[in-house]
Chain A
Amino acid sequence: MQRVGSGKQGSILDKSLSRGKTEVNFSSFALLFAEMIRYANNRSNTVIDLQDKLLGYGKFVGSRLLDVIVLREKGYRRETKLLNMLMFVKGTIWKNLFNKEADKLERSNDDPCQYLLIEKEPIVNTYISVPKDKGNLNCASFTAGIIEAILEASNFPCKVSAHWHDGTTYIIQFDRLVIARENALLELTR
């Protein structure tokens, strides 16, 4: 056997992509995630800091997952329409990550740039008990980061945040450009 980086074995890009059917025990993930939160918590002063860190972890994951999932599930065809993209996130992405779809997708009534993705019991919050002094901390920020990275990489610039409302609600605030482009697209096809 050879060490990493030495020897003639090809780079990771020469390997064929796995089919992605591997599954691991939920306990392993939950404990790893808990350790990450503990580490991030030790290194951050405020709840916002901590949520930002979790969001960052999520973005790391999301930006790497998008290509894999798009390639596997859609033959490398990306979504260009906003609604299709959101359904793709709600359905395919969620199924790949958590083995179920997200619960609800809604459009905000007062802001055309705002969409809500609702999940009653996010898996990442299952074993996390939030201490009293960190009232509005929501570890689903991690998932919010995943969504944000996926949407941004698909050219739908946005900000995603996790909130306690109706379970957990991910508020997706799109850049105005996205909505303008979408409307122009609708005009064209009409």
Chain B
Amino acid sequence: MSKQTKFPMGIDSKKISGELFTLTYGALVAELLRDLESPLAVNRQLDKMGYNIGLRLADDLLAKNSQIHRCTDMHQVADVLAKVALRSYLGVTAQVSNWNARNDEFSLILESNPLAEFVEVPPELAQDLRQEPCAMIVNDSPGRDDSHYHKYSQILCGAIRGALEMMHMEVQTFIVQEHSQSVEIRVKFIRILQESVPPGDD
């Protein structure tokens, strides 16, 4: 991982200790788990925060990386996400894989998840809570039935969705699977947003 720090980062490439970042995120997740009643609500809040971050990061990314041009298909989008965006902001690169037949859905696989260093999700949160009656009300990642776990890195999904929305692309993002080392994020293209309404702050 340390080899990648030589990547040319544009003008402003101020760095901060990865551990401070990881632990700060940990403090947030711990607080949310205390404040909100269900893992589901925590996932949703993390997603929302990620979305807000994504909206801003998109600008930051384009301003500092002039080599990025307009993407004309999802393969290019996936490339920029995996090779530039994740590398600039988290210091890791992701593998792009599992394209579907229509080429509008792919997986980003992060081999080492910088958010999850030092992290152990307790088994009762990582387990399926579907037995509980309240768990079936909301299913916010359609097509998947395992959305009742606490998803530690959910904020990444929000950030990707927010950033792509700034580029007029509506996508669905969700975590397919995650464990201490790696996380797989599924990104599904929905449509091009024509007239951009300035997105609200939260």
Contacts and interface: CB of A to CB of B under 8 A. Distances in A.
A23 B15 contact: yes
Contacts of A1: 177, 179, 182, 184
Nearest to B202: A38
Interface string A1-37: 1111110010110000011111111111101110110
Contacts, number: 149
Nearest to A11: B120
A70 B20 CA distance: 15
B179 A24 contact: no
Given A18-B117, A99-B17, A61 B24 contact: yes
Given A26-B16, A39-B49, A32 B56 contact: no
Given A2-B179, A4-B180, A61 B23 contact: yes
A61 B27 contact: yes
Contacts of A65: 19-20, 23
A43 B114 CA distance: 28
A39 B30 CA distance: 13
A96 B22 CA distance: 13
Interface in B130-181: 149, 152, 155, 177-180
B53 A25 contact: no
Contacts of B122: 5
**B interface, how many residues as a size bin?**
35 or more
Contacts of A164: none
A23 B17 contact: yes
Interface stretch (B74-82, B84-92, B94-102, B186-194): B84-92
30 contacts: A1-B179, A1-B182, A4-B126, A4-B152, A5-B126, A9-B180, A11-B120, A18-B117, A22-B2, A22-B17, A22-B18, A22-B117, A23-B16, A25-B15, A25-B88, A28-B90, A29-B20, A32-B28, A36-B28, A38-B52, A56-B27, A57-B31, A60-B23, A61-B20, A61-B24, A64-B23, A65-B19, A68-B19, A97-B20, A98-B16
Interface of B: 1-2, 5, 9, 12-21, 23-28, 30-32, 35, 45, 49, 52-53, 56-57, 60, 88-91, 114, 117-123, 126-127, 149, 152, 155, 177-180, 182, 184, 202
